[in-house]
Amino acid sequence: MASHAGTAGFCREMWSGFFDYETPKTMVVKSRKLGIVYRGAQALILTYFVGWVFLTEKAYQTAEGVKEVSVISKVKGVTATNGSDLRARVWDVAEYVMPPQGTDSFVIITNVLETPMQSLGVCAEDLDTPTAPCSNDTGCLPGERDQLYNGVKTGRCSHDRKPRTCEVFAWCPVESEGRHAKYTLLAEAENFTIFIKNNIRFPKFNFSKGNLPQNMPKTYLQSCKHDARRNNYCPIFRLGDMLKRAGLTYQNFSKKGGVLGVLISWTCDLDRGADSCNPVYSFRRLDNGAGYNFRYARYHVLPGGVEARTLVKAYGIRVDIVVSGEARKFYIIPTIINLAAALTSVGVASVICDWLLLNTMRRRNIYRKSKFEEVNEGTALRADLSSLPSRELAGGKADALSNGFSTDDSML
């Protein structure tokens, strides 16, 4: 019965204390130095959250990177080589732009080396090929395939030229890039214009925008030129201006070619409306000076049915259009999370000041005794006995004496 009564009493005590409110003990320290540290730490924490987290990083917004992008490009311009009369060679868009579809990556040819009237046959390998020179047939193994050769070795050392080189079965005459090679430089290509049409969409916010002005007249694109400050929504760029903004010159860049990156960045704060979402263009060389070239051939049939071709080694500027961007908009969940983090972080100031108070202050021992109160079982029992009425206290003493203990001993 006693055990049941004790259990019931324990349960009643637990239940009665369930709805009690507990609060930490507060100690006010009259110290100007410590107060300055406390308020200064709070000010720094609040400044960080307000200035950096909320105003700079805009942590109250949710973000989405650009996911849906379309790019259409088109090059315009005409130039001529070998003079300006009727004997000149005219280069138009169909000649110097590859591929012609106008995607986010294309090449503008600026310098070419042509080897015309090639046909399949036997001829001497180019002298500039490292292993081509020979003195007799033993240096030219028949059928051997060398990746640097223009064809397949026949096994003979050619007598058609001096110094002699191995004979090959190839498209003859083979391409030669020696000092006598004749390159054709498109000197006026820096005046070509590039039309870049770019559209982006952020599906999370159901927002889309393009780099062309809305309700533009039909004649707008015929005369405008892009200017970052005065005409940012004109999508027509002069090639020479693009290279200049990348820190390059057309004269140096066009001979060996290279890769030019056109970087279009969209940073959209949709809380401020669609007008705050504008493209920012930058230009950069991406090939680290290695240059860029490729080969292609134009085939035709000579009288008599002989197939021939003109081999073209083209140096050019490969334009890579790279689109990036991010849209941001107010959202309640990150706002609540960051507000809670800010309010919680303010408590760090108390932790710092408590450490200074208890470890560095001159009267730290006094502060430690005032802040922490040590209570053991004996102290708790004395407090309970002192709170009882005198009649119950006397009975408790009598019970203790009847068990052979003194009043002081029973409180240990």
Residue positions forming the annotated binding site for ATP: 74-76, 193, 293-295, 313
Q: CB within 8 A of 373, min separation 6: which ones?
A: 25
Q: The tokens of 206 are what?
A: 């159901």
* Total number of residues shown for the chain: 412
Query: Residue 266's closest CA among 193, 331, 206, 202?
Result: 202
Judging by beta carbons within 10 Å of its beta carbon (0-12, 13-18, 19+), is residue 126 exposed, middle or buried?
buried
- Tell me how far apart the alpha carbons of residues 41 and 38 are, in angstroms, rounded to a whole number: 5
Contact 140, 126 (CB under 8 A): no
Which of 67, 74, 70, 58 is CA-nearest to residue 236? 74
Token pair 């028949």 in the structure block, residue: 142
Binding residue ranges: 74-76, 193, 293-295, 313
Report which DSSP code applies to 288: T
Residue among 232, 231, 258 at smallest CA distance from 243 = 258
Q: At what angle do helices 348-359 and 32-47 cross, to 10 degrees?
A: 150
Q: What is the DSSP letter of 87?
A: T
Q: What are phi and psi of 368, to 5 degrees?
A: -65, -40
DSSP string of 193-228?
EEEEEEEEEETTTTEEEESS-TT--TTHHHH---BT
